[in-house]
Amino acid sequence: MTSAPNTPNPPREPREPNTPGRPPVVDLATWRAARDELLLREKAHTHEGDAIAAARRRLPMVEFDGSVEVVGPDGPVPFLDLFQGRDELLVYKHMWYDGAPHQGQCEGCTTTAWHLRDAVYLNERGVSFALLTTGPWEEVAAFTEFMGYTQPWYSVRGLPEPVGGDMGYLTSFLHDGDRTFLTYSTTGRGNEPANPSLGLLDMTPYGRGETWEDKPEGWLEGNHACWYWRSDADGNADWAPTSRPVPQWTRPGATPEQTLGRGGPHS
């Protein structure tokens, strides 16, 4: 078994304090004053997030036929089964590349799904969780076994929205009596709550290490967006055919390969 080391990137060269490109070095009292000033903005950000969540709860809903069948380990089942007797359902729609080996599946979706391996707190609050994808079930079953995922997966191949359709999003559903509704879906960076590593990186001095981030003048330039989703066998961020989505390096048999074996994603 090949696995990535704990430090996937070479250490950065040390730099002297108060050199160009670094924030100033100050005493603790000065730091606390600056921290308190930033806290005001953080509180405003939190309150605005609460207001957005309130507006999200008031979005109109789309009713659809919950008896439509998806395919899981027990064969075709009604979409309603995914609620597992609860009223609410949150799903992550995992992109899929037909015929691609495990290392060729979507880097971002693999990383997001890795962060969603336990839904115990969602379940406690009456929310079920599942992953949906457009891949054929035989391929999906092999991939999920290799990855060691514990949450339920289902193929929605050929199904229209809101059950099928575009992949790569978090989507919420409501079951009320004999009626089923689409209530919300993310777009783009709306998936970030499912990947808490991103929020934690935002708290670190160098952040996510991406070029788009606003950094102090002279700070490390960074890499292209999502550079850490894929790495080589030594843990270095690399998008070459011999690399894999980072979570795969912990899986038995995750050796370097020569091809991603994929075309465009199936949707």
pLDDT in tens, 205-214: 999 999 999 9
- Say whether pLDDT at 3 is over 50: no
Q: Is the pLDDT of residue 7 over 70?
A: no
Per-residue pLDDT, 21: 67
Reported confidence tier of residue 265, pLDDT bands at 50, 70, 90: confident
Burial class for 136, CB neighbours closer than 10 Å (0-12, 13-18, 19+): middle
State the pLDDT at residue 19: 56
- Residue 158 has a pLDDT of 96
Q: Measured at the alpha carbon of residue 196, what is the angle toward residues 194 and 197, in degrees to the nearest 5?
A: 130
Which is nearest to 246 in space by CA: 141, 98, 114, 150?
114
Q: Cβ atoms within 10 A of the Cβ of 256, count?
A: 15
Q: What are the boundaries of each domain within the chain?
A: 56-190
Residue 10 clears pLDDT 80, i.e. is over it: no
Instruction: Report whether CATH 3.40.30.10 matches the domain 56-190.
Output: yes
What does the pLDDT read at residue 1?
A: 35
| Contact present, 187 and 171 (Cβ < 8 Å) | no
**What integer pLDDT is reported at residue 6 of this predicted model?**
42
Question: What is the residue type of 157?
Answer: R
pLDDT in tens, 11-44: 555 445 455 668 889 999 999 999 999 999 999 9
Q: Is pLDDT larger for residue 255 or for residue 83? A: 83
What percent of the chain clears pLDDT 70, i.e. is strictly above it? 92
Write down the pTM of the prediction.
Answer: 0.88
Whether the per-residue pLDDT at 101 is higher than 70: the answer is yes
- Give the pLDDT mean for 218-244: 88
pLDDT band at 188 (very low <50, low <70, confident <90, very high): confident
pLDDT at 18: 52
On whether the CB atoms of residues 2 and 254 are closer than 8 A, the answer is yes
Looking at residue 123, its pLDDT comes to 97
The residue ranges of DSSP E strands in the chain, in sequence order, are 62-64, 69-72, 75-78, 88-94, 127-133, 153-155, 170-176, 179-185, 230-231, 244-245
